[in-house]
Amino acid sequence: MPLDQRILVLVGLVLLASIVGLWLSSKSGKARQINNGEQIQLSNLGATKNGKPVVKLGEKVTLLQFSSDFCSSCKQTSVLLENIEKANEGLLHIDLDIAERLDLAKTFNILTTPTTLILDSKGSVVSRIVGAPKLATIEAEIEKLVNK
């Protein structure tokens, strides 16, 4: 293949990868509003926190995070959400390992970890964040729920 054609192929590949990367990072960490009335039954999750079963949702907000072992940003997200829990009364953070509950991955259609569902006081899903969220994104979502 002539030199200029080869260069063209490589430039095309780099461009394509850049576009895909930009597209992925533009989607990642953004909150998407959910309005399908889906309600989470806590008993179906079998969630535990600090070794104890979770028996009650957060009074105002619950952050339901799906993680996996092989995900590097899950841990960061977990730490971030734990800190948010400490700073906000009536807020509960649950971290579920999808590897142990692949049935839940199917139920909630989790394609990426971390995925965080934000639930209101009744356990209805109000928004969904795929990828590692920023503090401001979560705070904005909490604000909407608390001031409702």
Q: Give the binding site for other proteins (CB under 8 A).
A: 1, 5-7, 9-10, 13-14, 17-18, 20-22, 24-25, 28, 68-73, 75-76, 98-100, 102, 105-106, 110-113
- Which C-beta is closer to other proteins: that of 45 or that of 146? 45
Q: Which residues contact 138 (CB under 8 A, 6 or more apart)?
A: 63, 80, 81, 84, 116, 118, 129
CB 117 within 8 A of CB 128: yes
Nearest approach, Cβ of residue 143 and other proteins (Å): 27
Nearest approach, Cβ of residue 44 and other proteins (Å): 18
- Which C-beta is closer to other proteins: that of 30 or that of 144? 30
- Which C-beta is closer to other proteins: that of 5 or that of 147? 5
Nearest approach, Cβ of residue 35 and other proteins (Å): 25
Q: Of 122, 91, 103, 88, which Cα lies nearest the Cα of 46?
A: 103
Q: What six digits make up the tokens of 27?
A: 């989607």
- Residue 69 DSSP code: T
DSSP-derived 3-state class of residue 26: helix
- Which C-beta is closer to other proteins: that of 113 or that of 127? 113
